[in-house]
Structure 1
Amino acid sequence: MSLPALPTAGLLLLRNADVFAPEALGRRDVLLGGGKVLWLGAPGEAPVSDAVERIDLAGRRLIPGLIDGHVHVTGGGGEAGFRTRVPPMKLSQFTTAGVTTVVGLLGTDDVARSTRDLVATLSALREEGLSAYGHTGGYHLPPATLTGSVRGDIVFVDALIGVGEVALSDHRSSQPTLDELLRLASDAHVAGMMTGKAGIVHLHLGDGARGLDLVTRALDASELPPRVFQPTHVNRRRALFDEALVLANRGCSVDITAFPVADGEDAWSAADALVRYLDSGAPPDRVTISSDAGGCLPCFDAQGHVCGMDVGQSGALLATLADLLAAGVPLERALPAFTRNVADLLRLPRKGRIAPGADADLVALDAAHAASLVIARGRVHVRDGRAVLRGTFEQ
């Protein structure tokens, strides 16, 4: 079978865009070429000939491509037997949701799923035109690795930028001690220093009453910079969210998960959590939102048995953004948690923003806040809301 080649990232002029970079810039034209933003300026002033391909956005909002910082690209699940393993995600599941960069990881199943499989899946997504990174390890300690150590994985494997999702305050975790968490965080931090990568520990938080106590103790007991620790799912309990605000004020970045929340549940929806975070006065650059896409979202009975499950979707990010806009939150206030904040934490300086020299990862939103045009690394993946580029096994 002969596979079609990806189209080259040639010159493309986006005209009459209402640009949020993520700050509001107003009406602009944007010139793309070679997978980068080449020029950004007033409509009609782009230094190009008439032969350059043009797309007129007619005033639609243009935002940076979303960065989904918590994705089970190989599929998650497995808590109720092998039949409950979630299948791997496909390219268009990300692009049609406005996601142009993913960070893949392993979860509960870091035995049947491996770091080797994760790296191969990230490489495949890169070949298909997405920007894809990952964390070594999984829920448990000692962590699942490719080279034999966390430091080795981050230093020698290009796609791996941190470690996670390491489970805390959860009956599925390996119940790590303070010393174990400090050693893991030290390895990630030093590897990040050596490579310029994020070098973070991405921490899954469960429903346990201990909450973020172990992270607080780690900050008190070490010289490690707070940015090394990034707890996620912090909106799953309201008391846990209050603890996360304290950590954010100490220098940690905290990650809100865009999972469904039922009426009366002791949790905050992602939209509610972001509003509460921003209104609290905590540093606005230390909050991110991810989807848990591809991950199993189980519920457990008192004996720890799975009594129901759902699967996370990257589409939850744009749905959360729509909820925020419907609640009257300005787009430029909401957008950094999905874009620039994530890029800065992960030390991806060309992601999460629209500016000359940045990667050409862009999303145009329609009136319903859905992705009408998606460009990843300079290539059009979605046009008029439909995927025009699909993964190898989606053809």
Structure 2
Amino acid sequence: MISLLKNVNLYNPNPMGIKDVLVAGGKIADIFDVSDNGHHNIPDNWPVEVIDFNGAYLVPGFIDSHAHITGGGGEAGFSTQVPPVSLSEFTQVGVTTVVGLLGTDDTTRSIANLISKVYGLREEGMSAYCWTGGYHYPLTTLMGSAKADITFLEPVIGIGEFAISDHRSSQPTFEEVIKLASEAHVAGLLTGKAGIIHFHLGDGERRLELIERAISETEIPARVFNPTHVNRNKPLFEDSCKLLAHGCYIDITAFPEGTAEPGLEACDAIEIAVKKGLPLDKITVSSDGGGCLPCFDQQGELQHMDFGRASTLLETLQATLRKNIALESILPMFTSNVATLLRLHSKGKIVRNNDADMLVLNNKFEITDVMIKGRWHKRDNTTVVSGTFE
């Protein structure tokens, strides 16, 4: 498929003005200034699909670095295991690349099952990767160690989500944490992959103590330590913001509306970061799609539960824009910042030779079209590609 997307208001994710974008072979072949004739020297015999978007926004596809693609949950019995997430639950809301993981249940779920789901999503047309391990130490792995999984299994890019400051964690020691961080870092050096450890943060009073100590007492680079759910309570978010000065990336969770208490809605956390003048290029946003979002009392008893949905990424973007924060300040948190952290070099930006993963947004910032690697998955508000069993 060769497509010419005409008259798009391009954010790459920086604002570039009205452009024409040529897509060929699943890649962004060229980006043109709008000209009078509009042909851009494209041969007349090329079978080009030409679409005039009349000034609609064209932005990079979302990269969701934290999703339970095989289903999460199970913390209130086997009947509370969340089902696997289907293709369109990601693609129709703008997620063009996803990174899957295991959480609390790294016993009945396995890395083998996780990787097979990654391959399945790839066969259905989207880009997918995964973390190895889960909440607990020793890690759940396929090849006996995290280092081996990252080195020899192409979809595996790091360790995650490894739980700290949470009653569901394995209560890891400092020595165990830095051993895993070292494995992730060295495997990343060997392979060119992300090589990071993606930390689940609970509501425990120790918060980021293990990460802070690792940064100050070891030679492991700060970027290796990547905490998520940092907006789950206000003191944790305040401490997490301090990590940015050391070179850490922090990951805000786009909780479903009304479920963030006692923490911060993702849009509010982003607003605080903008107003404080924090390094926004070190902040990412993920959905926890397919994951269980339980609320426990002081004794660890489940009070109520919800589950994560990839749609919260778009909802967060829209809610943050309503706070009069510029689109170019927000978009990188869903796109280029994630790609940089994860070393996904052909993702996250609309530039020549990158993968053609792009979203078209109308003037209400609703997604009307989704393209993944040059193929339409959603076109003019209609689903074009569905998962095998949808």
- When normalised by structure 2's length, the TM-score is 0.97
Equivalent position SS for 2:389: helix
1:46 equivalenced with 2:40 (yes/no): yes
Matched, 1:247 2:243: yes
Tell me, what secondary structure is at the counterpart of 1:116? helix
The match for 1:352 is 348
Counterpart of 1:371 (choices 367, 371, 381) is 367
Aligned to 2:214: 218
Quote the residue 1:229 is aligned against: 225
What is the Cα deviation at residue 283 of structure 1?
A: 1.7
Counterparts in 2 of 1:264 and 1:96: CA distance versus 1, 3 Å: closer
Deviation for aligned residue 1:301? 2.3
Residue 129 of structure 1: aligned partner: 125
- Partner deviation per Cα, 1:326-370 (whole Å, 9 max, x = no partner): 111111111000000000000011100000011100000123322
Of all paired residues, the percent bearing the same amino acid is 52
Deviates more, 1:259-268 or 1:81-90: 259-268
- Deviation string 1:16-68 (CA, Å, 9 cap, x unpaired) is 10000000001000000111000001122533245411121111100000001
What secondary structure is seen at the aligned counterpart in 2 of 1:393?
A: coil
Please state whether the residue corresponding to 1:183 is helix, strand or coil.
helix
Distance 1:49 1:371 in 2: 31
Q: Please, which moves more after superposition, 258-267 or 204-213?
A: 258-267
**Aligned twin of 2:19:** 28
Distance 2:186 2:275 in 1: 34
Deviation at 1:77, TM superposition (A): 0.2
**Displacement after TM superposition at 1:264 (Å):** 9.5
- Counterpart of 2:332 in structure 1 is 336
Show the counterpart of 1:393. 389
Shift of the alpha carbon at 1:281?
A: 2.6
Conserved? CA contact 1:261–1:268, under 8 Å: no
In structure 1, C-alpha distance between the alignment counterparts of 2:155 and 2:11, rounded to whole Å:
28
Higher mean C-alpha displacement, 42-51 vs 378-387: 42-51
Deviations 1:231-259 (A, max 9, x none): 00000111101111111111100000000
Cross-structure match for 1:80: 76
**Contact 2:232–2:260 (8 Å) recurs in 1:** no
- Residue type of the partner of 1:16? N
CA distance in 1, matches of 2:150, 2:7: 42
> 2 CA distance for matches of 1:191 and 1:293?
27
Aligned to 1:113: 109
How far residue 84 of structure 1 moved from its aligned partner, in angstroms, is 0.3
Q: Is the 8 A contact 1:104 1:132 kept in 2?
A: yes
Letter in 1 for 2:55: G
Report the RMSD for the aligned CA atoms in angstroms.
Answer: 1.2
Q: Give 1:186's aligned amino acid.
A: S
Instruction: Please state whether the residue corresponding to 2:162 is helix, strand or coil.
Output: strand
Q: Which runs of 5+ in 2 are unaligned?
A: none
In the alignment, what sits opposite 1:14?
Answer: 5
Return the match for 1:89 from 77, 85, 88. 85
Q: CA deviation at 1:385?
A: 2.0
2:52 — aligned with what?
56
The one-letter amino acid of 2:40's match is A
Deviations 1:94-136 (A, max 9, x none): 1111110001000000010100000000000011110001100
- Confirm or deny: 8 A CA contact 2:256 2:309 kept in the other structure: no
State the alpha-carbon separation in 2 of the partners of residues 209 and 260 from structure 1.
24
**SS of equivalent residue, structure 1 residue 148:** coil
Aligned equivalent of 1:180, options 160, 176, 180: 176
Residue 176 and residue 263 in structure 1: after superposition, are their counterparts in 2 closer, same or farther (change >3 A)? closer
